[in-house]
Structure 1
Amino acid sequence: MAYGVVLLPDARTARALTELSHAIGHGARPLNQLGDHAPPHVSVLHFDVPGERDAEIAEHVSRNPVKLTVKVIGLLYVPVPEGDYYVPTGGIYFGVEVVRRPDLDALHREYLEFGAARGMAPLGAVGADYRPHITLGVAGVQPALPPLDMMPLGELSMTLASGPIGPFGTFPTLGADGAGHRSDA
């Protein structure tokens, strides 16, 4: 089972990021955009969890609450080749890149060690290749730039959460407002 540890923004920021996702994806044949099935998040780590061991991760997250501030870099658009783990059909990724600060990197490495100690293989770009970001969506054709005043600037306060990974690396059980499966931070 694919399961992940993520950082979720507050409800107001989540709504603003969802609006940005839809502004960018509009008219670009969106394959996936933020919404109830896909709350905005920064992935800390995704795991391939054997059996029903996802409860171990959820328990660890709830016992170890974390609040982090991430710093926005800007927008990134990248072609995704067909056959990609998260986007099997291929498409154009669009998202908000964030700085890989020492506290975020340490959290990523903590969960790498947590998973390795329990036989949970990491999924995606990890370790030296870890690239923290907020996926806004994936489009079938190149999307246009949004109105730049919609783009978040500065820093975003985030709270640790966990849940099963859905299509396109989404977290459907966490909800668009980011209310589900949070740590007590």
Structure 2
Amino acid sequence: MAYGVVLRPDPAVSRQLIALSHEIGAPHDPLMLLGDQAPPHVSVLHVDIAADEAEDIRAATAPHRGHIFTAKIIGLLYAVVPPGDYYVPTGGHYYGLEIIRTPELDALHQQFLRLGHPPLGLVNEDYRPHITLGVTARPPSAPPFASVPTGALRLTMAGGPVGPFGTFPDLTDA
């Protein structure tokens, strides 16, 4: 099963990101938009594990309970995803917020890589922190740029099974 460790923003920021996700993608044949089944998050690591190995990952999150991680937004990115992608098998149009790969985020990523579970997605040197806002079948629109968040986000750790399009419908606190 695919399982992930993520950092998520507080509820107020999450609501803002969900609204932005829908503003940009809803009119363009959405494949995935943020919402209750797809909460906003910055992935630390996604892994492929047997169901009974999830406890190992949950135990590794324990030291981070209550810790606030800071992530700095770089900007809004749009990208074409080719068919056959692990997270978007049909292909589509990605849009999301890029996050600076700080030493703190990289160290956290490396810590979970060292658990030795087979990783999914971009890892190690290719690790690219981001918040996926959505994926559409047709090119998404540009939002009013004043609605795009800037600056730093305060995030807390969570984990759970990876759902469609790299979403986390069943996140639990670390």
1:36 is aligned to 36
Shift of 1:56: 1.7
Distance (Å, rounded) in 1 between the aligned partners of 2:63 and 2:109: 17
2:141 is aligned to 144
2:58 is aligned to 58
Q: How many residues align?
A: 173
Alignment match of 1:130 (pick from 127, 131, 145): 127
Shift of 1:111: 0.5
* Deviations, residues 138-173 of structure 1 (Å, cap 9, x unaligned): 000101101111111100000011100000000001
2:83 is aligned to 82
The answer on whether the counterparts of 1:62 and 1:182 sit within 8 Å (CA) in structure 2 is no
Identity of aligned residues (%): 54
Runs of 5+ consecutive residues of structure 2 not aligned to the other structure: none
* TM-score, scaled relative to structure 2: 0.96
Which residue type is aligned with residue 9 of structure 2? P
Runs of 5+ consecutive residues of structure 1 not aligned to the other structure: 175-180
Q: How does 1:101-180 map to 2 (within 5 A)?
A: 101-114=102-115, 116=116, 120-174=117-171
* TM-score, scaled relative to structure 1: 0.91
Shift of 1:122: 0.5
Distance (Å, rounded) in 2 between the aligned partners of 1:12 and 1:91: 29
Displacement over 4 Å in runs of 4+:
none
CA RMSD of aligned residues (A): 1.0
Shift of 1:52: 1.7
Distance (Å, rounded) in 2 between the aligned partners of 1:50 and 1:156: 32
